Structures are given as structure tokens and as C-alpha cells.
Homo-oligomer: A and B are copies of this chain.
Amino acid sequence: MKAERSSDAENSTSRTALLDAAEQIMLEEGYAAVSSRRLGTRAGVNPALVYYYFSNMDNLFIELFQRGADRSYERQLRALDAAQPLWALWDAIHDQSHTALTMEFVALANHRKAIRAEIAASSRRFRALQLDAVAKILAGYDSSAVGYTPGALVLLMSSVSRFLRMEETFDVDTGHAEVIELIEAFLREVEGERRDRVR
């Protein structure tokens, strides 16, 4: 019996090599530099294979995005299961806001409908998971200490992480420590000092 979803075609070496190459090129030179020829060269594979595996470039981008999103989703699920779930969620969000790649996808989405739809769907999925979990977590803590609504807290963590990471890209970090302290002071208040760091 075959595994339901991971068919041979979906796990082939060339296919994975192409996705990996796409990720690298996007990071190094931006989405516009991702072409079938460059993918082929970087992956050590014939450029025509791009069309064999993905039909067109848009599909390749979408699969690459989903691959990353799935990994992040798993990571967040694990985080929310930790002993200090808010600390773990904060770490997960902050670690995953490696914005170079994210910004490329956002820019791509700006003018490719199919990709925009993927990112939108993925964002909602993440937000739903986070809101649901954080609401339950906060409900379990001393309500007098909790100053934020779940939605506010989740968006605060996401916004700040994303923005700081983006600025770091430009070697700008004035005030960064201060906002981080703001958030972490709150986390200490409700969950105490950070103990373990889940990966």
C-alpha cells in the first residue's frame, strides 16, 4: 500500500533539489531571479524538469511556500504544547519570521493571484490556530495579570517579530531591545521566567 499523500513523484530527488534551489535563489537574489534555467543549474538538473514536475513557475512557487508553511505550522503546534506555551509561541514566531523569504513571497503575491490566495489561506490557518490556543492559555492564567486580549497579543508578537527581522536585514536595530523587553516582560508576568527553549 502506498502512503496516501507522498507519492514517488512528490518526493523524488530532482523535485526536492529544485525546490531547495528555488529557496536558495529567492533568498540570495529575489524571486525575479528564479528561472527554470537557474534552477536547473543550481540543482544540478535539467531545466526542463521544472515543467515536468511543476507544470509552470507559479506552481513551483506555491509548492515551495506550502512546504515552508507546513513546517512552520508543525513547529507552532509543538510550541503550543510546551510547558510555557506563550514563551514557546513567542520563540517560534520570532524564529520563523526569517523575513527575506517571506517578503519575497509577499511581493510575489502582490501580482500573482494564485500565490496571493495561498498566502491568504495560510495566514488565516495560522491565525486561527494561534487565537484558539492563546485564548485557552490566557484563560488558564490569573486574569488580573493578563492585560492583553488573545487577538492583541498574537498580533503584537507577529507584528513586532516580522518588523524587527525586516529591519535587521538592513542593519537597523534602534529600539529593538526595548520592544522585545516590553513583550517579554508581559510573558514573565503571566508565565514566569522563561525556562526551556523548545525547538
Q: B-contacting residues of A (Cβ < 8 Å)?
A: 27-33, 100, 103-104, 106-111, 116, 119-120, 123-124, 127-128, 131, 148-152, 154-156, 158-160, 162-164, 166-167, 169-172, 174-179, 181-182
In the complex, how many angstroms separate the beta carbon of A62 from the nearest chain B beta carbon?
A: 15
Q: Are A172 and B110 in contact (CB under 8 A)?
A: no
A31 contacts across to B, CB distance below 8 A:
32, 107
Q: Take A103-B103, A111-B33 as given contacts and tell me if A123 and B175 are in contact as well, using a CB distance cutoff of 8 Å.
A: no
- In the complex, how many angstroms separate the beta carbon of A51 from the nearest chain B beta carbon? 20
A154: B residues at CB distance < 8 A:
175
Report the Cα distance A109→B29, complex, angstroms.
9
- On whether the beta carbons of A149 and B178 are closer than 8 Å, the reply is yes
Instruction: Please give the distance in Å from A105's CB to the nearest CB on chain B.
Output: 9
Min C-beta distance of A55 to chain B, whole Å:
20
| Beyond known contacts A109-B169, A124-B174, A155-B164: 10 more, CB 8 A cutoff | A31-B32, A32-B32, A103-B106, A110-B169, A123-B167, A128-B174, A149-B182, A155-B179, A156-B182, A162-B163
How many angstroms between the C-alpha atoms of A176 and B151 in the bound complex?
Answer: 7
Complex interface: chain B residues within 8 A of A163 (CB): 155, 158-159, 162-163
CA separation between A167 and B179, bound complex, in Å?
Answer: 21
A151–B172 touching, CB < 8 Å: no
Q: Tell whether, in the assembled complex, residue A172 and residue B124 are in contact, meaning their CB atoms are under 8 Å apart.
A: yes
What would 15 A/B residue contacts be, using CB atoms closer than 8 Å? A28-B111, A30-B111, A32-B32, A33-B111, A103-B107, A104-B107, A120-B170, A120-B172, A123-B167, A149-B182, A151-B178, A152-B178, A155-B160, A159-B160, A159-B164
CB distance from A187 to the nearest CB of B (A): 15
Choose from B149, B158, B169, B174 the contact partner of A127 (Cβ within 8 Å).
Answer: B174
For A178, list chain B residues within 8 Å (CB). Answer: 149, 151-152, 155
